[in-house]
């Protein structure tokens, strides 16, 4: 999991702390997960399509070269989409990983989650995994402060205090300024 997270973090994906076999195993794990994400997204797209598709209208006999030139750029985009559709999920995953690992390392002023938000359209499958692996565990700073305060109050000399008394002492310690 650490290796996968490190590869997905654009700040550290160029660090060579993994040996070759660990790196290959992490990339293979990432590839398998991307294939799962890709398959899930493909299922969602096919479920969202309407059942009855309108039949194309007949072409009129008056087609000018200007109109053909205008629509040629759309045909090129459609051909690219067909080319992508002909690739297997594994090929798409490997290509996405290869392109991502060839990206330059990001600077310190941009967080990795912000980078993934910006690059989500370029690496859609990896972005889903980045959200999964690079999420920050939630913590509550006030609760950590209470635990550290409790550690100061309950020590080996005061270990026999009743829980109610410990709660009152912590409350008074944290609210001392308000009470006075």
Residue 117 has pLDDT above 80, yes or no: yes
Reported as a pLDDT band with limits 50, 70 and 90, residue 99 is: very high
Give me the pLDDT at residue 55, please: 45
Compute the distance between CA of residue 153 and CA of residue 156 in angstroms, rounded to an integer. 10
The DSSP code for 58 is P
Supply the pLDDT for residue 120. 92
Alpha-carbon separation of residue 158 from 11, 140, 162, 166 (angstroms): 47, 26, 10, 9
Q: What is the mean pLDDT of the chain?
A: 74
pLDDT confidence bin for 82, thresholds 50/70/90:
very low
Q: Which residue has the higher pLDDT, 170 or 80?
A: 170
Pick 145 or 128 by higher pLDDT.
128
Per the model's pLDDT, the better-predicted residue between 55 and 38 turns out to be 38
Q: Which of 1-5, 105-109, 136-140 has the lowest mean pLDDT?
A: 136-140
pLDDT of 57 > 60? The answer is no
Residue 42 has a pLDDT of 65
HSE-CB for 74 with a 13 A CA cutoff: 5
Q: What is the pTM of this model?
A: 0.52
Indicate whether 75 pLDDT > 70.
Answer: no
* More reliable by pLDDT, 27 or 49: 27
């Amino acid at each position: 999991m650490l290796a996968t997270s490190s590869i997905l973090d654009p700040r550290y994906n160029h660090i060579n702390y993994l040996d070759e076999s660990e790196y290959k195993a992490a990339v293979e794990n990432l590839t398998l997960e991307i294939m799962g994400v890709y398959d899930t997204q493909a299922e969602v797209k096919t479920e969202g399509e309407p059942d009855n598709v309108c039949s194309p209208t007949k072409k009129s006999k008056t087609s000018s070269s200007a109109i053909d030139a205008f629509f040629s750029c759309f045909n090129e985009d459609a051909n690219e989409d067909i080319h992508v559709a002909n690739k297997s999920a594994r090929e798409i995953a490997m290509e996405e990983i290869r392109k991502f690992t060839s990206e330059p390392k990001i600077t310190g002023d941009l967080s990795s989650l912000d980078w993934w938000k910006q690059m989500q359209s370029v690496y859609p499958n990896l972005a889903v995994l980045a959200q999964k692996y690079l999420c920050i565990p939630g913590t509550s700073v006030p609760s950590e402060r209470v635990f550290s305060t409790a550690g100061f109050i309950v020590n080996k000399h005061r270990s026999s205090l009743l829980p109610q008394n410990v709660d009152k002492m912590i409350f008074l310690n944290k609210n001392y300024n308000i009470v006075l």
